[in-house]
Structure formats: structure tokens, C-alpha cells
Amino acid sequence: MIIILVDQLPRTLGELKQSIMRENNLVNQLIFKVGLTEQQISLMDNKIIIIAKHKRIPVLEIIESSSDSLAEIIDRLLIDKYKELLLRNLEEKLHFNVQLILKDYDSMKEISGTIIVLDKKIESYLAG
């Protein structure tokens, strides 16, 4: 007998939120080598909103204290890489058709906001 394992799509909105949080935390770990300290996810129609708290990378604090403009450039590069990896993970693992990812980060408050816009209502991505 041969058993084929297939990625199990979430069956409920709660499971879907957990899957999105896992992917978001994984991307942060890949880029920043540290996970999030807290995150909240809201699902509305075809939109996912993520508010997350995380510690600033110590080397970026040093750069920021020396050169705000350089810190802004590095922040932008990191945000762009985050969006690229999150897009890939959401499309490959959750089979989302992502139309847009917007992200901003407040380094003073160590809070980020991410908005993900999908091609259709979030409920249509549930298994079953």
C-alpha cells in the first residue's frame, strides 16, 4: 500500500489564522533570526491584517543611532525581503492567490503592521 501525504489545508478560520501566524513567524525567524513576541491576525473579506510585536535587531539600533537614513534603507530592504518570502510561503503552503502585501514597521514601538489582499474571500481557501 502506498500512502501519499498532501499538505492539509486548514478547515476552519481558527486553523487558518494559526497557519498564517506560523508562516509569518517563520519568515521573521528566517530574516531576523528571532521570532515574534506577539501577533494578532484579523480576517475580513479578502484581507488579512497582521499586527506584530518584535524586538529590533541590535545591529540596526547601532546603525540607527549613527545614521537614520542608512537605517531607513536597511529597514526597507528587510521589509521587501519579508514581503517576498511571505508571498512565496502563503502561495506555496496555503495556496493563496495574493494580490498585494503592504507592510510598515515602527522601530520606536517595535510594532509592525501587514495587510495582505487576496483575490477572493478568505473563506474560499478553507478545505472542504
Residue 4 predicted with pLDDT over 50: no
- Structural domains of the chain, count: 1
Greatest extent of the chain over all pairs of C-alpha atoms, in Å: 63
> What does the pLDDT look like over 5-30, one tens digit per residue?
445 778 899 999 999 999 999 999 99
- Residue 54 structural domain: 13-125
Residue 2 predicted with pLDDT over 60: no
Domain-embedded: residue 102: yes
Mean pLDDT of 36-59: 93
Domain-embedded: residue 120: yes
Domain-embedded: residue 100: yes
* Angle (deg, nearest 10), helices 68-93 and 58-66: 150
Nearest to 9 by CA among 85, 83, 84, 96: 96
Look up the CATH number of the domain holding residue 69: 3.30.980
Please state, in angstroms and as integers, the Cα–Cα distance from residue 112 to each residue in 62, 96, 128, following that order: 20, 22, 33
Domain-embedded: residue 2: no
Domain-embedded: residue 8: no
Domain-embedded: residue 1: no
Residue 36 predicted with pLDDT over 60: yes
Extract the C-alpha cell encoding 34: 528571532
**Average pLDDT value over all residues in the chain:** 90
Q: Which residues contact 7 (CB under 8 A, 6 or more apart)?
A: 93
Residue 83: per-residue pLDDT: 98
Between 5 and 1, name the one with better pLDDT: 1
